[in-house]
Amino acid sequence: MEKKRIVEGIERYLKVKHGVKLKDAKDYEIFNALSLTILEEIVDDWNETSDTYNRGRMAYYLSAEYLMGRALGNNLINLGLYDEVKEVLAELKIDLNRIEEIEEDAGLGNGGLGRLAACFVESAATLNMPLVGYGIRYSNGLFKQNIENGFQTECEDTWLKFGEAWSIRKDDEIQIIKFSDMTVKAVPYDVPIIGYKTKNINTLRLWQCEALREFDFNLFNNQQYIEAVSARNKAEDISRVLYPNDTAEAGKILRLRQQYFFSSASMKDIIKKHKTKFGSDFSEFAKNNVAQLNDTHPTISILEFMRILVDEENVEFVSALAIAKEFFGYTNHTILAEALEKWDIRLIERLFPRLLQIAYEIDDALMNELRQKGYDEGEIWNFRIVANNQIRMANLAIYVSRAVNGVAALHTEILKKVELNNWYNLYPNKFQNKTNGITPRRWLRLCNSELSEFITDLLGNEDWVKDLSLLKNLEEYSDDDQVLKTLMEIKREKKVQLAEFIKQEEGIIIDPDSFFDIQIKRLHEYKRQLLNALYILDLYYRIKENPDLDIPKTTFIFGAKAFPGYRRAKGIVKFINEIARLIDRDEQASKKIKVVFVHNYRVSYAQKLFPGSDLSKQISTAGKEASGTGNMKFMLNATPTFGTYDGANIEIVEASGEENNYIFGLKVEDIEKIKHDYDPKEYYHQNESIKRVVDTLINGTLDDGGTGYFEDLYNALIEERDQYYLLADFELFKEAQGKVFEDYKDKKKWAKKCFANLYSSGVFSSDRTIKQYSDEIWNIKPASVE
């Protein structure tokens, strides 16, 4: 792109969008103008990509969340314009990094499921795969997290406050969505998904909910102002917040409305596109289209798809069900019961009674099939889609989908052998594994330019960015002292940058020469942030007893959001912050260890934390973490894993070697053996270290501000049988951490572990995952824009 055109574009959009000249423009105005300049440049390729894809078989990815992060830097990297734009802005006395920092993270996702979806759509674009993403355009995301007096507090995430340059509103493609008690508009906003070094620009279509009428003029005229806009507010609530708190019925209804809203809009959109090409003939619908359900949130799509085909397109029910069975695929992301959604029949009946009728009909079809296969009524009960006054969304998804996949080898085996064993025995050919992956563009090329340049220098080109398996060629340097030295210099540079960022964001000073031990992920009991905290508290007491304890100076860094209605998770946030305060006030301990809980953990923060790490903490209870992708991002940034034998940790260790990582704790089979006889009180009474740290929850050592949080955590461990086995794994954790500290003293040995993780990480590219989905489930082929 010519430099002159970049400057002219920025000046033009500053003028028409903000009414200012460059010399007077604020950073966010420059961000908007630059983004729109780039968007203008790619629109023709974007339209051409859509036309190209429409000529062949299409895949659609349905996800309630897309944790996209910031767009500008990633898009410039993928377009090959980053250095050019940086140079142009520098000539204008503008720092591109400063402009990147002004961009808000898109408030469209929360955890690994949403970040995976973001990686997938980017990889599909990079591979020229005809994949369109569908989701919701949340106006206020999940929430913005602050830490006040050690407590998590939440406020609205105003990510759209400066506008949003990277999407185009498509008013001519609005869909009308009907609930039994209200009718709303689904307005599509299309986001360009830019592949790396390709002309293909894929689409993420996000639906925003709006009222049919802006306000009721007659009510307004009668001076009933609140009532006049109530319909608008009620509609906008549907796409206001990701995962609204559903501890009360009103929240459950809103969540259900959300799921139906985006599922219905997406189904209508896909069917409309099909009819534009093929008319009302649905006989070959599944030959031309395939949809992937990202977990159970979009599963109501199946019922809506059936409703549209049967009621609006006059397709026979049996034919419609056969089409649906070829059209849908289902990704299971968890074995946790609370995530396998079940909806009360009365709520479904209240909002969309016709869908309930269809659910019963699909349930009948399944029951008939099972009876014909000789299943007795007792066995059949577990398969039922409608049972116990609930619709079981996972059962619906499994029965109707062409394929059911887990997201890591262990996870898929647990689904097949335990959690979904009855389904696996019924449909063994449906079950597949698709180990998750991450995009190397954002998670190395963008967030760690120093390491990226070093890799490119060693390999002689940048081909690895599009083919991560090429990193394996770095192995020949694994004994090269200069290479190892340079790697560790880069890692220290990234730690300095992280320390500066934490000082700026948190007002906390940390030592970049200390050991950075990092646990960043969603806050949930099974992820065991509490186990890490109990270990740190034990380490504090050991330092008090022996101030000369031989450990490297260590900074323990946590980042995590607890759901607003998840009391116990919020208690863990407070507990970690109380430990941080205890250590900071202690002259002895604070010389050796420090604890930092960073606020509002998000993609842009993660892009600083992964490259600035010494150790990746992945300590979920074995069998509970489906995959994890944070573990892969650490690995890609040359960081050893400290973790349980769980999720993708197993495959990470297989790839890079157990000697280059730290695996501890009970395995799935160990838990299976002890779970009926497990008594945490035995560990509590027999191990003084455990008793000492657990007692801080109730003896007044640490203060929870009278909330009862800490007593609740105590009860979870001692009175409620410690269901995530923290106490059983405590000593094994301590032993493994001791080995980490011992190994870290040998600088060359440590550098070799880091380097081994880097050169072994190629298999965890989301490009590989998407290729497997494309070949083995979706049957789609690359279609390149020339």
What pLDDT does residue 366 have? 98
On the 0-12 / 13-18 / 19+ scale of CB atoms within 10 A, 277 is: exposed
**pLDDT tens-digit readout, 104-144:** 999 999 988 999 999 999 999 999 999 999 999 999 999 99
**pLDDT tens-digit readout, 434-460:** 999 999 999 999 999 999 999 999 999
Strands, E, within 89-242: which ranges? 131-136, 144-148, 151-155, 168-169, 175-178, 183-194, 201-211
Mean pLDDT (whole number) for 627-634:
97
| Catalytic residue list | 333, 521-522, 527, 629, 633
Q: How many other CB atoms sit within 10 Å of the CB of residue 751? A: 20
Is 663 within 8 Å of 649 (Cβ atoms)?
Answer: yes
On the 0-12 / 13-18 / 19+ scale of CB atoms within 10 A, 353 is: exposed
Phi/psi at 641 (5° precision): -95, 135
**pLDDT tens-digit readout, 239-264:** 999 999 888 999 999 999 999 999 99
Antiparallel, parallel or unpaired: β 515-520 and 554-559: parallel
**pLDDT tens-digit readout, 282-312:** 999 999 999 999 999 999 999 999 999 999 9
Is 340 a residue whose pLDDT tops 90?
Answer: no
DSSP one-letter code for 172: G
pLDDT band at 429 (very low <50, low <70, confident <90, very high): very high
Is 660 within 8 Å of 650 (Cβ atoms)?
Answer: no
**Domains defined along the chain, listed by start:** 56-69+105-141+157-436+771-778 (3.40.50.2000), 460-676+722-764 (3.40.50.2000)
pLDDT band at 223 (very low <50, low <70, confident <90, very high): very high
Say how far apart CA 737 and CA 726 lie, in whole Å.
15
748 Cβ neighbours under 8 A, 6+ residues apart: 481, 484
What pLDDT does residue 292 have? 98
What pLDDT does residue 779 have? 98
Mean pLDDT (whole number) for 554-558:
98
pLDDT band at 65 (very low <50, low <70, confident <90, very high): very high
pTM (global) more than 0.95? yes
Residue 405: in which H helix or E strand, if any? strand 404-406
- Alpha helices per DSSP H over 55-95: 72-79, 82-91
Mean pLDDT (whole number) for 55-70:
97
Is 337 a residue whose pLDDT tops 90?
Answer: no
CA angle, residues 714, 716, 720, in degrees to nearest 5: 120
What pLDDT does residue 339 have? 72
What pLDDT does residue 786 have? 82
What pLDDT does residue 534 have? 98
Say how far apart CA 107 and CA 159 lie, in whole Å.
6
Is 329 a residue whose pLDDT tops 90?
Answer: yes
On the 0-12 / 13-18 / 19+ scale of CB atoms within 10 A, 182 is: middle
